[in-house]
Structure 1
Amino acid sequence: MNTPKVAEHIINWLKDYAVNAKVKGFVVGVSGGIDSAVTSTLCAETGLPTLCVELPIHQAQSQVNRAQEHIAQLKERFSNVSDARVNLTSTFEDFKTVVPEVDSSPKLDLSLANTRARLRMTTLYYFAGLHGLLVAGTGNKVEDFGVGFFTKYGDGGVDLSPIADLVKSEVYALGEFLKVPESIQKAQPTDGLFGDSRTDEDQIGASYDELEWAMTMQDNGKSVDDFEGREKEVYKIYTRLNTINQHKMVAIPVCEIPKSLK
């Protein structure tokens, strides 16, 4: 990948889109992870107002520290960057008290994790509406179009996706080129939605390097029978998630009414 040219292309694309949409700039949720760090830096590089919002919900201190380090670095480098911090922990806890109580289960844990992401999306759009900004998505290609590792109408609820055509290794290459803090470049990827130390790899069962490989194999028309051992296991993980999460990746189905019935 020609990293400098890719960065330049995305920056110009972001700026052109904002100008044509007649909005002032961008708002980005900053988590302390590589995807949000790269996205917010690309937005900052446009020269347009870029609001970085930290949205902790029972967040691990290590994630908070990385997010704050990144935002401080961006504000030092770019005069067009501002920041806000909205601690949504109490909002999340209030939500749990008003919905019907159910026994603890994996489904409950996942529903509450997705609720965290949707509370953050709501908050980002609050700021977007208040300041005339676009919500910039932070999903990469493997997450958004490979395994569907995002929350529908949560971190998937955005106005534009600047890095969604880049796999994770390419995002890391951009992060190094854009001088993202080393602490973020070295951190294990995590969505931070469960309030514990689990990583993305813990949840998915495969690393991003493995998922990139599987995505390429599927694009090349390979089937599970073409592999053995760990490769077969990874390919099964990838294809299963790619199948069950198609509802996140395709347009909302519309029931089209025959003209004869209208």
Structure 2
Amino acid sequence: MSNRQREIADALGVIPPFADQAALLAEVERRKAFIQDCLRRAGLKVLVLGISGGVDSTVAGRLAQQAVQALREETGDDGYRFIAVRLPHGVQHDEDDAKAALDFIQADEVQTVNIADGVRGLLGQIDALTPLSAERRDFVAGNVKARMRMIAQFAIANARNGLVIGTDHAAEAVMGFFTKFGDGACDLAPLSGLVKGQVRAIAAALGASEKVAQKVPTADLEDLRPGKPDEEAYGVTYAEIDAFLQGKPVSEQAYEVIVKTYDRSQHKRELPFAP
């Protein structure tokens, strides 16, 4: 492991590879306890999470559901609830995957907020978009979608006196692959420190189908490229990112891409600049 790999892994709190299945299951229990502790410390009983159909939100959702179920059984208080929120922009091209995720999560409640009208209305008021190329305008709109989705989740959480769950993990964090104050905004992030392979392993251990656990990751924010894979945007694979974070050898090209992207996106992982 290079000094830079160690520095970055430490900064992101990367979890070492699971030694065996028992270690994986222990990590699952630790993260469910973390979710429960967040509710207790906040004095609240409701959790809210947007479900896209990807493995990250599926795992976070199932952990949240199991956490509140355990709290209900422990306390006898039916006020503990998990709300899964579908947040399509118009018609989602992989809607079947989102439905499969919801079937697996078995959330206490499912709500749907279609963000298309809100996004369209906001973009229509921004003159600065007019001179942009179609590709640049699509990129800006993608970030608006991510922020609109988080607005919806926080609105539901505010209305129900709850907390919003985020799905960021180490493999996305190192690449800055989230929208600042969009999907990067949340009250708790129970997948923090995990690499992508570990998220997939937890999904399988929780009983998710191979299709759900191994779905090709996509932010799906671009109208011009619906379903664009994360790895295409990165220029490296998740296997390479995971290896880098866990101190294993990677190619020189992958090393350079990951380090440069990490440095360039540092502002996303920090509080706003201040004097």
Asked whether the equivalents of residues 100 and 212 of structure 2 are also in contact (C-alpha less than 8 Å), the reply is no
Q: Which amino acid aligns with 1:248?
A: K
Match of 2:77 in 1: none
Deviation at 1:106, TM superposition (A): 4.1
Question: Per-residue deviation at 1:3?
Answer: 1.2
Residue of structure 2 equivalent to 1:260:
none
Q: Tell whether 2:102 aligns with 1:71.
A: yes
Q: 5+ residue gaps in structure 2? A: 1-17, 70-79
Match of 1:243 among 231, 247, 263: 263
Q: What CA distance in whole angstroms lies between the structure 2 residues aligned with 1:236 and 1:23?
A: 44
> Structure 1: which 4+ aligned runs deviate by more than 3 Å?
none
Could you tell me how far apart the structure 1 residues matched to 2:134 and 2:120 are? 18
Secondary structure of the residue aligned to 1:189 is coil
The alignment covers a number of residue pairs equal to 239
Provide the rounded CA distance (Å) in 2 between the counterparts of 1:27 and 1:125: 8
Contact 1:59–1:192 (8 Å) recurs in 2? no
- Give the CA deviation at 1:71: 1.3
Which residue, 112, 132, 140 being the options, matches 1:85? 112
> Partners of 2:55 and 2:85 in 1: how far apart?
15
In 2, the alpha carbon distance for the partners of 1:6 and 1:59 equals: 36
Aligned partner of 1:259 in structure 2 is none
Asked if 1:203 is matched to 2:233, the reply is: yes
Are 1:20 and 2:49 matched, yes or no? no
Partner of residue 50, structure 1: 82
Is contact 1:33–1:67 with CA below 8 Å preserved after alignment? yes
Tell me the SS of whatever aligns to 2:124. Answer: helix
- How far apart are residue 184 of structure 1 and its match? 1.6
Q: Is the 8 A contact 1:116 1:193 kept in 2?
A: yes
> In the alignment, does 2:252 pair up with 1:232?
yes
Match of 2:195 in 1: 167
C-alpha contact 2:166 2:189 (8 A) present in aligned 1: yes
Distance 1:55 1:235, change over 3 A: same
Q: Distance in 2 between matches of 1:216 and 1:173?
A: 15
**Which letter does structure 2 place at the counterpart of 1:203?**
A
RMSD: 1.8
Q: 2:157 and 2:142 mapped to 1: Cα distance?
A: 23
Against the structure 1 CA distance between its residues 73 and 212, is the aligned structure 2 distance closer, same or farther, given a 3 Å change threshold? closer
Match of 2:6 in 1: none
Structure 1 residue 246: Cα displacement: 0.2
Distance 1:23 1:60 in 2: 32
Asked whether 1:152 is paired with 2:183, we answer no
Quote how far apart the aligned CAs of 1:58 are: 4.2
1:126, CA displacement in angstroms?
0.4
Higher relative contact order (CA 8 A, sep 6+): 2
Residues in 1 aligned to 2:256 and 2:219: alpha-carbon distance in whole angstroms: 22
Question: Under a length normalisation based on structure 2, what TM-score does the superposition of the two structures give?
Answer: 0.82
Q: Distance between the aligned counterparts of 1:103 and 1:168, measured in 2?
A: 34
Contact 1:27 1:51 in 2 (8 A): yes
TM-score by length of 1: 0.86
Distance 1:4 1:249, change over 3 A: same
The question of whether the paired residues in 2 share the 8 Å contact of 1:28 and 1:52 is answered with yes
Cα 1:20–1:149 change in 2 (3 A) is same
1:237 offset after TM fit, Å? 1.1
DSSP 3-state at the match of 2:273:
coil
In structure 1, distance between residues paired with 2:217 and 2:263:
23
1:42 alignment partner, SS class: helix
SS in 2 for 1:98: coil
Q: Deviations over 1:35-65 (max 9, x none)?
A: 0000000000112310000101145432x21
Q: Which amino acid aligns with 2:98?
A: A
Match of 1:33 among 39, 51, 54: 54
